[in-house]
Chain A
Amino acid sequence: MCSYIVEKVALTGSAKAQTDWRSIDTAHVYFDHPFHTPLDHALSIDFINEAAGGRERIAVELSAETARELVKAITTALDRGEMEHAGLNQY
Chain B
Amino acid sequence: MSYLGMVTEVVPFAAHGGEAGQAYYARPTTQQTVGGVVLIHHMPGWDDWIQEATRKVAHFGFACIAPDLYFRERPGSPDDCAARARAKGGVSDDQVMGDVAGAMAFLRAQSNSNGKVGVMGFCSGGRHTYLAACRLKRIDAAVDCWGGRVIVEDPADITPARPVAPIELSAGISCPLLGIFGNDDPNPSPKQVNETEAVLKKLGKTYEFHRYDGAGHGFFAADRPAYRPEQATDAWRKVIDFLDRTIGPRARFA
Q: Could you tell me which A residues sit within 8 Å of B by CB distance?
A: 1-4, 6, 8, 28, 30, 32-36, 38-40, 44, 46, 54-57, 59
Contact = CB atoms under 8 A, between A and B. Distances in A.
Given A6-B89, A59-B79, 5 more contacts: A1-B146, A28-B87, A32-B43, A55-B76, A57-B83
Interface in B35-73: 42-45, 47
Given A1-B148, A32-B44, A55 B79 contact: no
Interface string B73-113: 00010111011101101100000000000000000000000
Given A2-B42, A2-B148, A40-B226, A33 B218 contact: yes
A51 to B, nearest CB: 15
A8 B47 CA distance: 24
Given A2-B148, A40-B226, A35 B44 contact: yes
A44 B79 CA distance: 12
B225 interface: yes
A34 B226 CA distance: 13
Interface of A, helix, strand, loop or mixed by DSSP = loop
Contacts of A40: 216-218, 224-226
27 contacts: A1-B123, A1-B146, A1-B186, A1-B187, A1-B217, A2-B43, A2-B44, A2-B124, A4-B43, A4-B90, A28-B83, A30-B86, A32-B44, A32-B86, A33-B42, A33-B43, A33-B123, A33-B224, A35-B47, A38-B223, A38-B225, A39-B224, A39-B225, A40-B218, A40-B226, A46-B83, A55-B76
Interface string B168-196: 00000000000000000111000000000
A39 B227 CA distance: 10
Contacts of A36: 79
Contacts of A39: 224-225
B187 A35 contact: no
Nearest to A35: B79
